[in-house]
Structure 1
């Protein structure tokens, strides 16, 4: 499960959220995939937080909207809200929710009835209502979409940056072991080359002794020739392995020097 707090610069995220709310008048707050808040609320009003959600019935209605509504939508109290998922690799990692603005001047009689239903003093509720920002619906929807797209880009870029840093850390760590292994291979190749050289000397000595033995050493001479042939091929193969090892080392050195 991808957790935002592991890689996201929450201070930067908060600053962008606050700037968005200041510019548009829309309230906003972010949650993770479990619904836990990862930012402080921006531009929320008493009408929603203190009074509507502060009443038992109002909170029940608000929670219902939070759980069932997506995109830009009208809440139960007649305000426009929005909810935009934060997605990484197709996985929902959180959401930006907010809005809480009026799409048009309110019908105060309607809100008097809502106040009665929520058991909130009417004049207190209406006084809080008059402080709620008014934005046309097109602006609200465009603002919600813009914030969602921008925050998704920020979250994904932050995730990829964190992943690349981790990959490079592992790459550097493993490269050390690879270089050590190549050095060990080269040392073993040198040992095998010495063995091949000794085999060639022994084969030569065996050929000399076979020649001295005359007809009796013919079979032994054939064996000696085969040993010499094997040692020659072995030396060639060891040399080729060493060449490949050098190529790998140079490739690793080139990769280690890459800088973005």
Structure 2
């Protein structure tokens, strides 16, 4: 998205004010700098008594503003200083401040008289008639006292301001370009660092650790539940639980040499995990899994969804005596698959979300293991698809958490898989 520059982004107002004051002291001309809307961004320098008196009348003041606006527009059109006669009969000038052809504002100066013959060579800066001050001795006296100079000197003053304005703009633009290059270098270094970290984590030992990262606490609960079921009831539920657990182990082990699965395979793994948790937690856990059939054959990194579902069970369902609900959905939006894992738990503080995603969150026991799983999944997604395809976590305290994972429909071939 293109960011519009403001004049204050390009020129230091304090420096400009000092230059403007010095210019007015040296030339006797009044001066002020305005933005592209005509709003002053500096204080007036050497404003004439005549103009102050004229502007006491609101109608005359509006005419003055229109005259200034006209001068600024004319200078913007030509890209050069504009010299004109205001409705008060004085000579003014407008010096445009331009960046790459875009008009950001202008330095307005003038409020002087010149020879009548030279005045006739200048355009009017307004459609309003000149002020008739013949019946107002006070205004006529102030007009007569207004500084008189030559058109040559006015043009020289305009050229001086134009040179100064261009210098200030060019100097700052060089600084902005250098800063942009510096930021791009930092982004490139960060991307190289990320790639290096992910590639290191995908070495055989790290990958096996990732594939075997089903929580020890979860394994203990599974075995304990199987034992209780075998003792207290028939074999049906026990058999169902064992089959689900066996499928999970088979899914984990068979991917030792292949890091890519279809979304259908990943969701079946999640279904097995949830069915086991359902048997353990009973009515405390409700879950819903909805996957667009068109998305089932899309490839994704192994263990993309399960760490987030596990996190929802541990932090949203287990601590709540009444339990809760986990919803997993997958839908295609144009060329992107949107995966969402949502719960209605107690939520996650914003500061903890940032730490979980960047891998700096530390806690005791299984919380720490879950955080590692989420951080690994996030890093792998950014490695395979780019930094625009990481994990987004939205959470509201006491209302729940929603994880969004974006996966492009393009093939994962060529990413070291």
Q: TM-score, normalised by structure 2?
A: 0.39
1:65 aligns with 2:54: no
CA 1:13 to 1:93, structure 2 compared with 1: closer, same or farther past 3 Å?
A: same
CA contact 1:86–1:151 (8 Å) conserved in 2: yes
| Residue 141 (structure 1) aligned to one of 129, 145, 155 | 155
| Residue 16 (structure 2) aligned to one of 2, 5, 13 | 13
1:172 aligns with 2:186: yes
CA contact 1:45–1:131 (8 Å) conserved in 2: no
1:35 aligns with 2:38: yes
Q: Deviations over 1:110-147 (max 9, x none)?
A: xxx8225xx7x31x223322442221111101211220
Match of 1:46 in 2: 49
Q: CA deviation at 1:187?
A: 7.2
Q: Of the two structures, which has the highest relative contact order with CA contacts closer than 8 Å and spacing of 6 or more? A: 1
Match of 1:229 in 2: none
The worse-fitting range, judged by mean Cα deviation, of 129-138 and 57-66 is 57-66
1:114 aligns with 2:132: yes
1-structure distance, mates of 2:11, 2:25: 22
Counterpart mapping for 1:211-226 below 5 A: none
Match of 1:78 in 2: 89
Which SS does the other structure have where 1:115 is aligned?
coil
1-structure distance, mates of 2:196, 2:183: 20
1:25 aligns with 2:43: no
Which SS does the other structure have where 1:97 is aligned?
strand
Higher share of residues assigned strand:
2
1:95 aligns with 2:106: yes
Q: CA deviation at 1:7?
A: 4.3
CA contact 1:8–1:159 (8 Å) conserved in 2: no
Match of 1:151 in 2: 165
* Unmatched runs of 5 consecutive residues or more in structure 2: 75-81, 117-130, 205-417
CA contact 2:38–2:69 (8 Å) conserved in 1: no
Number of residue pairs aligned between Structure 1 and Structure 2: 179
Higher share of residues assigned helix:
1
Q: CA deviation at 1:32?
A: 1.0
The worse-fitting range, judged by mean Cα deviation, of 75-84 and 148-157 is 148-157
Q: CA deviation at 1:83?
A: 1.1
CA contact 1:26–1:101 (8 Å) conserved in 2: yes
Q: TM-score, normalised by structure 1?
A: 0.60
Which SS does the other structure have where 1:165 is aligned?
helix
Q: CA deviation at 1:79?
A: 1.3
CA contact 1:30–1:94 (8 Å) conserved in 2: yes
2-structure distance, mates of 1:93, 1:5: 9
1-structure distance, mates of 2:173, 2:16: 13
1:3 aligns with 2:6: yes
> Root-mean-square deviation (CA), in Å?
2.6
CA contact 1:53–1:59 (8 Å) conserved in 2: yes
CA 1:142 to 1:84, structure 2 compared with 1: closer, same or farther past 3 Å?
A: same
Which SS does the other structure have where 1:31 is aligned?
strand
Which SS does the other structure have where 2:103 is aligned?
strand
1-structure distance, mates of 2:66, 2:188: 51
Larger radius of gyration: 1
2-structure distance, mates of 1:79, 1:35: 19
1:132 aligns with 2:134: no
CA contact 2:34–2:106 (8 Å) conserved in 1: yes
